[in-house]
Structure 1
Amino acid sequence: MVSTPKAPKAPDPTQTAAAQTATNVDTAIANSGLSYVNQYTPDGSLEYKVTGNQTMTDQNGKTYQIPIRSAYQTYSPENQAIYDQTQQTQLGLSKLANEQTGKISGILGTNVDLSSDNVDKYANDHWQGGFNNQWDRDQKSLDQSLADKGIAMGSEAYSNALRDFSTRKQAASDQYLGDMYSNAQNSILTERNQPLNEISALMSGSQVNQPNYVNSPTTQLPTVDQAGLINENYNQQLGAYNSQTAQSNAAMGGLFGLGGSLLGGWAKGGFAGISDRRLKHDIVRIGEMPSGIPVYEYSYIWGGGRQIGVMADEVERAIPEAVAEGPGGFQMVYYARIH
């Protein structure tokens, strides 16, 4: 019987991937430890400390403990003192702003009145008195001037001069109120916003500083080429199969290349053909002979299409005299003796 060597078993891709992942994790942890370098400067220091572990599970269910590091920033003693003092100052300003906020709660709940009546009233209340005082002084000056000219009060000349004065005063008043209207609007808004601006100024000096985080080193795990491992495993198996098939074909070709000289001799002895199960594949039982021996459909390993016949080992158990050993140790069946 011809034997063919078995190809080496290809490495299991899952085990290979698991081993590669373990190596990658160990390398990454080592690189991470080398990357986190403590820093010490005159202004302060930065230190990295391991504060815990994170469990990582790979696709094969194996777990790894990945160290978690935290960054700690520390001021120098001088800078720490400045920081503490600044924080106290900002806290005091924040408290003052909070107190002022209670005083303006009523202002925030009231709408700003910029109606014409309110603006005119504001202008009259704040500036009309000064305007009237100026024109009262001008009128006294006019009376004195008319008296010096001998124009008596009640005379036509006096009435005409007073009428002209009143016309100029009214025109000036209209112009004055028009000019003061915009100023009155701005003043109303200023009075409304002043408390808010004061609080804003207090708060601007008491803002909480956001922490400044350093850029932590990053370490990435190398990826495992799982598909490549599987394909490589397949290629190895395919190569082994092709090698095994080639060796088997060569052996069988040499065996059956003996030709009809040997097989023909067996045929002359009444044996119909080689029926060794080891030389057949795709075997399908399709019935049995009258003697009870099963009948199969099959193909020889060297080709030649589908065949119908028996298996020599089964015939040998039932009718030993119908089976004989042929070339290469393969069994032959004498069909005339099994009907």
Structure 2
Amino acid sequence: MSFVGDLFSSNSAPSYNAGAAVSAQSGANDAATRLSAQLNRYDSYGPGGSTTWSNQGDKWTQTQTLNPSQQNQFDSTNAIGESVLGQAQQYAGSLPNQSFSYDGAPEYQSSLDRSGLADVPSDIGAYQDQATQTAYDRTMGMLNPQFDKQNEAMIQQLANQGIMQGSDAYTSAVDDFNRNKNNAMLSASQDAIMTGDALAGSMFNRGLTSRQQGLSERTTDLNLNNAARSNYANENLTTRNQNLNELAALLQGSPALQMPGGSGGAMVNAQAPDVMGAYNTANNNALMQYQASQANQGAMLGGLSNLGMMAMMG
């Protein structure tokens, strides 16, 4: 095309095919993913066996192979495991299927029955008075005959001595006798009080000891009863849990044989090319060229217009 034709030609803006760019980028990503999978699925070989990969299209298959010795151990381990599981199944069939019950155990006792225990004397004062009076009467019962004999002997002695009743000597002798008698009665009263106190204390202590003995025996019986209940529970729970413990022991443990695995090599991650970036760069360059072309064309057309105006004015 001539210069004039180029000058007045109409340039079209570059078009951007987004679908083609996305499709191309998706294809690049898929290819990078497949390459990464292929690079990372490498075969490994060791003393225990091997791990190999095979590509079934987009589906990979991993195969683990034991060496003959390890395979024999693996088969033996499985056989033992099946035997143990068979025993465990038998134990499971004998497990109790009812909740634990205290039926048959002694009833738990939380308090003491105090009925029938010896009573501790409460009216000690009345018993003390009675004991004091009894002791005093007993003592006086022995002293009064002596006082009577001593009184008769004194009167006879005074008469023999010619001391007449009503005389000062007679009165003095009677006063001495009565004084001695009163002292003896006072001593008997004091001894009776001490005897009453001792007997009352002894009575209280015997009653208290008897009651405490009864409480001690009943406390011992309560403890023995509750201990028997606890032993009942422990023995029955031990028997109940024995099968559970044996079943747990059978199910515990881990296989001694480990399957071979791949070596821990570094993972490879293949990067897809930036197709979208390349598309964007090419489109931006084309757009810049179009804009520059449009600017140049506009400038030249403006220049020609100015020349024409100048010619007309000249």
Q: TM-score, normalised by structure 2?
A: 0.51
The AA in structure 2 aligned to 1:119 is A
Q: Who is 1:249 aligned against? A: 298
CA displacement, residues 116-147 of structure 1 (integer Å, 9 cap, x when unaligned): xx3228xxxxxxxxxxxxxxxxxxxxxxxxxx
Of residues 49, 63, 70 in structure 2, which corresponds to 1:72? 63
The AA in structure 2 aligned to 1:238 is L
Query: Does residue 1:94 correspond to 2:82, yes or no?
Result: no
The AA in structure 2 aligned to 1:41 is G
Query: Does residue 1:120 correspond to 2:111, yes or no?
Result: no
Q: CA deviation at 1:113?
A: 1.0
Q: Who is 2:247 aligned against? A: 199
The AA in structure 2 aligned to 1:256 is S
Of residues 99, 115, 123 in structure 2, which corresponds to 1:111? 99
Of residues 234, 239, 260 in structure 1, which corresponds to 2:309? 260
Three-state SS of the structure 1 residue aligned to 2:105 is helix
Q: CA deviation at 1:13?
A: 5.0
Relative to structure 1, the CA distance from residue 16 to residue 231 in structure 2 (aligned partners, 3 Å threshold; closer, same or farther) is closer
CA displacement, residues 26-58 of structure 1 (integer Å, 9 cap, x when unaligned): 4543444333221111111111111x22xxxxx
Three-state SS of the structure 1 residue aligned to 2:92 is helix
Q: Who is 2:48 aligned against? A: 43
The AA in structure 2 aligned to 1:239 is M
Structure number with the bigger relative contact order (C-alpha 8 A, sep ≥ 6) is: 2
Stretch of structure 1 that moved more, 170-179 or 211-220: 211-220
CA contact (8 A) 2:25 2:274 kept: yes
Q: Who is 1:239 aligned against? A: 288
Distance 2:268 2:62 in 1: 13
The AA in structure 2 aligned to 1:197 is N
Stretch of structure 1 that moved more, 188-197 or 18-27: 18-27
Three-state SS of the structure 2 residue aligned to 1:74 is strand
CA contact (8 A) 2:44 2:50 kept: yes
CA contact (8 A) 1:13 1:229 kept: no
Distance 2:254 2:288 in 1: 76
Distance 2:272 2:296 in 1: 41
CA displacement, residues 312-331 of structure 1 (integer Å, 9 cap, x when unaligned): xxxxxxxxxxxxxxxxxxxx
Q: How many residues are aligned here?
A: 204
Which structure features the higher share of helix residues? Answer: 2
RMSD: 4.2
Distance 1:219 1:14 in 2: 27
Q: Who is 2:140 aligned against? A: none
Relative to structure 1, the CA distance from residue 175 to residue 28 in structure 2 (aligned partners, 3 Å threshold; closer, same or farther) is closer
Distance 1:223 1:182 in 2: 78
Relative to structure 1, the CA distance from residue 254 to residue 37 in structure 2 (aligned partners, 3 Å threshold; closer, same or farther) is same
Relative to structure 1, the CA distance from residue 259 to residue 250 in structure 2 (aligned partners, 3 Å threshold; closer, same or farther) is same
Q: Who is 1:179 aligned against? A: 227
CA contact (8 A) 1:39 1:46 kept: yes
Of residues 222, 237, 251 in structure 1, which corresponds to 2:272? 222
Distance 1:222 1:192 in 2: 65
Q: Who is 2:34 aligned against? A: 29
Three-state SS of the structure 1 residue aligned to 2:307 is coil
CA displacement, residues 142-161 of structure 1 (integer Å, 9 cap, x when unaligned): xxxxxxxxxxxxxxxxxxxx
CA contact (8 A) 2:53 2:62 kept: yes
Which ranges in structure 1 are unaligned for 5 or more consecutive residues?
Answer: 54-66, 122-162, 266-339
CA contact (8 A) 2:50 2:261 kept: no
Q: CA deviation at 1:16?
A: 4.7
Distance 2:91 2:309 in 1: 119
CA contact (8 A) 1:93 1:205 kept: no
**Which one has a bigger Cα radius of gyration?**
2
Three-state SS of the structure 2 residue aligned to 1:113 is coil
Which ranges in structure 2 are unaligned for 5 or more consecutive residues?
Answer: 108-209
CA contact (8 A) 2:50 2:65 kept: yes
CA contact (8 A) 1:46 1:72 kept: yes
CA displacement, residues 211-263 of structure 1 (integer Å, 9 cap, x when unaligned): 8876895646637563x456545533431232122221222122111143434
CA contact (8 A) 1:45 1:73 kept: yes
Three-state SS of the structure 2 residue aligned to 1:45 is strand
CA displacement, residues 79-122 of structure 1 (integer Å, 9 cap, x when unaligned): 11111111111101111221232233xx21x221136xx3228x
Q: TM-score, normalised by structure 1?
A: 0.48
The AA in structure 1 aligned to 2:51 is L
